[in-house]
Amino acid sequence: MRDKAPTGAPAPQNALQRLGYRYAPLLTFLGVLAVWEIGCRVFDVPTFLLPPPSLIYAAFHEQTVQIWLGHAWATIRVALIGYVVAIAVSIPLAIALASSKLLSRSLYPLIIIVHSMPIVAIAPIIVVTLGASDLPRVVITFLITFFPIVVTTTAGLLATPPELVELSRSLRADWTRQMFHIRLPYALPHIFSALKISTTLSVVGAVVAEFVAAEKGLGYMIQFTTSFFKIGQSFVALVMLVMISLAFFQLIGLVQRLLVPWSLPRSER
Shortest distance, CB of residue 181 to other proteins, whole angstroms? 5
Q: Which of 69, 86, 58 is nearest to 216 (CA)?
A: 69
Pick between residue 120 and residue 171 the one whose CB is nearest to other proteins. Answer: 171
Shortest distance, CB of residue 174 to other proteins, whole angstroms? 10
CB 219 within 8 A of CB 188: no
Pick between residue 50 and residue 165 the one whose CB is nearest to other proteins. Answer: 165
Pick between residue 64 and residue 267 the one whose CB is nearest to other proteins. Answer: 267
Q: Which of 40, 46, 47, 48 is nearest to 226 (CA)?
A: 48
Interatomic CA distance for residues 251 and 267, integer angstroms? 18
Pick between residue 186 and residue 224 the one whose CB is nearest to other proteins. Answer: 186
Shortest distance, CB of residue 175 to other proteins, whole angstroms? 12
Shortest distance, CB of residue 255 to other proteins, whole angstroms? 15
Shortest distance, CB of residue 49 to other proteins, whole angstroms? 54
Residue 53 CB neighbours (<10 A): 15
CB 75 within 8 A of CB 206: yes
CB 205 within 8 A of CB 144: yes
Pick between residue 4 and residue 266 the one whose CB is nearest to other proteins. Answer: 266
Interaction site with other proteins (CB under 8 A): 161, 163-164, 166-173, 177, 181-182, 185-186, 188, 260, 262-263, 266
- Residues 95, 96, 99, 105, CA torsion sign: negative
